Structure 1
Amino acid sequence: MDKKLIGIDLGGTTAKIAILTKDGEIAEKWTIKTNIEDNGSKIVRDIGDSLNQKLTDLQIDNNEFYGIGMGTPGAVNYEKGTVKGAYNLNWVDEQNVSEDLSRITGLKVYLDNDANVAALGERWKGAGEGGANVVFVTLGTGVGGGIFAEGKILHGVKGAAGEIGHVTVEPKDGYDCTCGKKGCLETIASATGIVRVAKDLAKEFNGDSKLLDAIKNKEEITAKLVFDLEREEDALAKLVVDKISFYLALALSHIGNMLNPEKIIIGGGVSAAGDALLTPVTNYFETMVFPAVRESTAISIATKGNDAGVIGAAWLALPTDEEE
């Protein structure tokens, strides 16, 4: 009998749950709402109950699974299986996630940070193509990342490895970041950062521009709108994309020169811009890196989208050769 894996990608709005084959192919997937009431005390119970019900419906026994892998926001203690500081879940204090979910489901639970599991998903079945050295950068409301080096996900001493969004790219005149620093990549290259850059550049822009008109008319400005207009050769939009591409490439060049991964994969909502983002970032990146890095490290757009998290989470539960 080929055993299966379970992957869970927990977010502030929903929890995505999937049953996968050992080869990382999704056999079943579903979503439940994340109930953050009462300090998030119902979240793990809801996930466990949903999973138990699904396995009952499918008539699958626990002995058909290696275990559960789960990605979660917050600071994760990988050895203890605990999470704290996941503020969008109302998990301020430490939560015994692995222990609690294991007790409910009867399966062993492996826990990691949500950005790390997305990196693992892309590395295992997506744009990373199984490489031993892959870096994942996610551009969404914020900027996150995960580093897969020499065949292992890097956590760091305090679990802060991969905080790519807080690489300083504009130390002198940069925007204030929610982390307390100034000039972090997140303040420029996130979806909210791109809008901030657009509104700032609009203040000194005098030419014709649909983006400028939209800002003046107080219309809703989004990162998608900026990239859509850039494709239409809108002059202001082109300036915005050029600026954010420069700073993103600067941060990625530090990663490239430090780690020399096979791939740096860009994911998250902003990555939907595709080549409109990839081309200028790659062009700047190639002028900023050591020659050997330029020849061996490629930048690409993520391919697994919203499935990356559950796929990467499931990978956590894969047994080693010795365990099988």
Structure 2
Amino acid sequence: MQKYYIGADIGGTTIKMAVITEQGSIHDKWEIPTNHEDNGERIPEEITVSLKEKLPQLNIRMSQVLGLGAGAPGFVDTEMGFVYQTVNIGWKDFDLAKILNKKTGLPIFVDNDANLAALGEKWKGSGEDADNLIAVTLGTGVGGGIVANGTVINGANGTGGEIGHITVIPSGGASCNCGKTGCLETIASATGIVRLAKEAIKRNPDSILSNYFSPDDPLTAKEVFDAAAEGDKEAKEVLAYVTDILGMTIANLAIACNPSKIVIGGGVSKAGEKLLIPLRETFDKYALPRTSEACEFAIAELGNDAGVIGGAFLVKQNI
């Protein structure tokens, strides 16, 4: 009898869910809205209801499900499946695994959503099943996960792998949502790139960058890459600064954990080789030569499916 895993990627707007085979292929996937009422307390019930509605439609019995792996956007005690805090959902000291287990009857495993994306890319994406991998997600913020010797690093209290909150500007840096200043997220995220580009426009209003910006048409990170491709000096300087900071940060991480794969995902990664080539150059500048020799860069392949596939892999690892 065919067995399945369930992956659930819990985000601030939607919860992505999928039924995944033991071999790692998506049998079916769907989304439900994230309910923020009562500080997100209804979410486990709504995941359960959705699952119990969907499985009969797929002719799958609950007894065929080996477990559910869930990703939460916050700090997680992975041994207990306990979520300490999720700013964009409202959970604080929330016993997600226990509640979901009680409602579904399934074995439940929980980790940070970025860690699950890293596991997904490792298992079925561009990580190519590497046992030592760094995954960096460049979106509105900067997320990440580190896999060492086949296991994702969580740390003593769930903050391992929080790459976006490494301090890269020791003093005078921009404020970050985490409460610190000068975090990598303030530089290398889409938001950070746009902030730096707007500062460049103020310095030179005649730049090509300024043609992309108006109060009615907000600037995007993609447009900064487009302006750089057109030869705009300010855009090129912004991206050179971003890739230098990002490349140095990843190089320092790589010296610590010696990965064979570095996977770059998120919306900014859609720049492809325009991002990857200069990033690799700066990485090589800062990394130990032997560390660099062992390491391959790749753009993430799984997109929005990385989290649910990572959730399935989390179950696979633990049952």
Quickly name the TM-score band, shorter chain normalised.
over 0.9
Task: For 2:21 and 2:77, locate their aligned partners in 1 and report how far apart those are by CA, in whole Å.
Answer: 27
Consecutive unaligned residues in structure 1, runs of 5 or more: none
Secondary structure at 1:7's aligned position in 2?
Answer: strand
Matched, 1:225 2:223: yes
Per-residue CA deviations over 1:74-99 (Å, capped at 9, x if unaligned) read 221212222131121121x2222112
SS at match of 1:317: helix
In the other structure, the counterpart of 1:128 is: 127
Identity percentage of aligned residues: 48
Does residue 138 in structure 1 map to residue 137 in structure 2? yes
User: Is this contact kept in 2: 1:66–1:319, CA < 8 A?
Assistant: no
Superposition misfits of 4+ residues, deviation over 3 angstroms = 213-219
What is the Cα deviation at residue 104 of structure 1? 1.9
The normalised TM-score by structure 2 is 0.95
Alignment of 1:109-128 (within 5 A): 109-128=108-127
Match of 1:147 in 2: 146
Q: CA deviation at 1:103?
A: 2.0
Counterpart of 1:20 in structure 2 is 20
What CA distance in whole angstroms lies between the structure 2 residues aligned with 1:137 and 1:254? 14
Query: How far has the Cα of 1:19 moved from its partner?
Result: 0.5
Alignment RMSD:
1.6
1:294 aligns with 2:292: yes
- Name the residue aligned to 1:4: 4
Instruction: Tell me, in whole angstroms, the C-alpha distance in 2 between the residues paired with 1:201 and 1:246.
Output: 17
Q: Distance in 2 between matches of 1:243 and 1:212?
A: 19
Give the drift of 1:105. 1.7
Q: Deviation of residue 256 (structure 1)?
A: 1.4
Aligned to 2:107: 108
* Aligned-partner SS, 1:157: coil
Query: Residue in 1 aligned with 2:93?
Result: 94
Q: CA deviation at 1:316?
A: 0.9
Give the corresponding residue for 1:284: 282
Structure 1 equivalent of residue 84 of structure 2: 84
> Is this contact kept in 1: 2:101–2:107, CA < 8 A?
yes
Task: Describe the SS at the equivalent of 2:301.
Answer: coil
Residue number in structure 2 paired with 1:254: 252
Aligned counterparts of 1:286 and 1:218: Cα–Cα separation in 2: 40
Check conservation: 1:133, 1:151, Cα contact below 8 A. yes
Question: Secondary structure of 1:178's match?
Answer: coil
Q: Distance in 2 between matches of 1:35 and 1:218?
A: 31
Match of 2:54 in 1: 54
Deviation for aligned residue 1:217: 6.5
CA contact (8 A) 1:169 1:250 kept: no
- Give distance in 1, aligned partners of 2:217 and 2:65: 51
1:264 corresponds in structure 2 to 262
AA aligned to 2:133 is: V
Change (3 A) 1:57 1:175: same
Alignment gaps of 5+ in structure 2: none
Distance in 2 (alpha carbons) for counterparts of 1:282 and 1:32: 38
- Work out the CA distance in 1 between the residues paired with 2:84 and 2:17: 21
